[in-house]
Structures are given as C-alpha cells and as structure tokens.
Structure 1
Amino acid sequence: MRATKRRFDANLQKVRLLVNGAPTREYVCTRCLKANKVQKAV
C-alpha cells in the first residue's frame, strides 16, 4: 500500500531557442535537449 501518489515532473531548463527564426527563452525538458528535438540559439 502506498501513502502518497508519487508525481514525476519533467526536468525543465530555461534555454535560448530558435523559434520561427528568432531567438526566444523557453522551458524545455532535458530529454528533448539531449535528443536534439529543439534547435538552440548560438
């Protein structure tokens, strides 16, 4: 039996991304960063 429902939150980081060609700061999960699902602004 479990006392509390364990909640798994995504590991989010605020990163500069290229969105529609313009750099913006957004929260992205570290799995997406590692898998190159988003393009970082250099």
Structure 2
Amino acid sequence: MPKRTYQPKRIPRQRKLGFMARMSSRGGVRVIRSRRRKGRWKLTV
C-alpha cells in the first residue's frame, strides 16, 4: 500500500503559503487584498 501524498509539515507550508511568502510577489499581494476585501477571518495559512 503506497503512502498518502499529503504529509503535512508546518515550516514548508509557511514558507510556501504564509503571509511573508504572499507579500513577496505581486500576485500574492493581490490574494491578500482580495481576502481582506471579502472579510476573511484568516488571510493566510
């Protein structure tokens, strides 16, 4: 039986999807902005 594909780890997740990672690119800034506008309780992971 093969291993499941999703093996969660906190640090890689933060590096890829965290706030600082989002703010480092133009597209990520747009993501944050749209989530703020929508009123999301959590902006990033």
> How high is the TM-score relative to the length of structure 2?
0.22
TM-score, scaled to structure 1 = 0.23
Structure 1 or 2: more strand by fraction? 1
Q: Select the structure that is richer in helix.
A: 2
